[in-house]
Structure 1
């Protein structure tokens, strides 16, 4: 059995211990930021670094576990908004606002996963990319479901473009949050999305149901 396989087997035997270690990692990253060390995480959990790695296989395994833990929360938070009831503008605004609220609430964790862990570890980068693609795909499916004449290819292009745009704008806003209100970013992005998508459509039918 590989080290990663052994770690997964161990986590199945003791999920509470694995969760406690991830919570220790969360605390250190929230306190120290993207530069948080594995040694500091092990010290927070009151174990040695080799034992920490043993639970996850290696550093990559710990990074992936953290990525999966937090992307799941993020996806669940925004999925409910853009798949819910209400006008197009209300849903778009709520989805963007929820995303910005979540990443700013756990700013150090977000930067750790998006910048440090994703840069250091290809598997973690894949987890984060899979999350973005999944949200993009769901957004496209919402557009298709609400417009029976929607062009599927365009819907998927738009879905990925919108998610990429919101992520990029969100990264910018995190660096300017003290001077730019979140509501201003939400309104600007909602205006761009709701004006841009119908204008780009070859069909006059609205992209989203109002």
Structure 2
């Protein structure tokens, strides 16, 4: 344990001195995971980088450190893409469709990495699971705040509803995306985008008590 702790400190210091080396190691990990799938081993990643496994761990502290670095690297890109699409000027329907499209396109283009981070790494490592959960909650919260601003959901009950919906929508899209990845050969991505957009924009407004709130969602 003492050696691992010392390695963690050295990894952090080394990363600050040579971010290019750290980036190269993460790119090696990306290549192996994309090639071999979510079961890619640490030994294979080290070999791809041309180093031994202990040296790989030294750069990140331990396997958990590598997992978290990969999670931060890829979830940041995904979240930035989602934010960019949903913050565009246009109707809520157009923005919703483009945001869902961006999410599905990103996870399908990086299928092995997505499954590695969302399933394997999160299952193996509590810190990575926490980091991924925090990211998902953050996106949910941002979506709720957009609902509040765009639909005028300013009352306490309406704000609560917006936060409930924000978390429900993100969870629904994530779960539907997982299902679609297993059926992508049979189900066109556009069908999933349309189905989710219809459910979000027509299904949720139908349960609203105030009809005035959700006319915006039918643009």
Same fold (TM over 0.5): yes
Return the alpha-carbon distance in structure 2 between the equivalents of residues 148 and 133 of structure 1: 22
SS of match in other structure, 1:180: coil
Deviation, structure 1 residue 204: 1.3
Q: Please, which of 160, 173, 194 is the counterpart of residue 187 of structure 1?
A: 194
User: Any unmatched runs of 5+ in structure 1?
Assistant: none
Is residue 101 of structure 1 aligned with residue 96 of structure 2?
no
Return the alpha-carbon distance in structure 2 between the equivalents of residues 158 and 148 of structure 1: 15
Is residue 200 of structure 1 aligned with residue 207 of structure 2?
yes
* RMSD (CA atoms): 1.2
Q: Please, which of 164, 177, 182 is the counterpart of residue 157 of structure 1?
A: 164
Name whichever of 49-58 and 83-92 sits farther off: 83-92
TM normalised by structure 1 equals 0.97
The aligned length equals 210
Return the alpha-carbon distance in structure 2 between the equivalents of residues 77 and 89 of structure 1: 17
Deviations 1:132-154 (A, max 9, x none): 10110110000011122441111
Return the alpha-carbon distance in structure 1 between the equivalents of residues 123 and 45 of structure 2: 19
Q: Which runs of 4+ in 1 moved over 6 A?
A: none
Deviations 1:63-96 (A, max 9, x none): 0000000000000011111121111111110000
Return the alpha-carbon distance in structure 2 between the equivalents of residues 56 and 149 of structure 1: 44
User: Any unmatched runs of 5+ in structure 2?
Assistant: none
Return the alpha-carbon distance in structure 1 between the equivalents of residues 65 and 128 of structure 2: 9
**Residue 166 of structure 1 aligns with which residue?**
173
Is residue 53 of structure 1 aligned with residue 57 of structure 2?
yes
TM normalised by structure 2 equals 0.93
Return the alpha-carbon distance in structure 1 between the equivalents of residues 12 and 174 of structure 2: 31
Contact residue 7 and residue 57 of structure 2 kept, 8 A:
no
Deviation, structure 1 residue 203: 1.4
Deviation, structure 1 residue 2: 4.5
Return the alpha-carbon distance in structure 1 between the equivalents of residues 6 and 52 of structure 2: 20
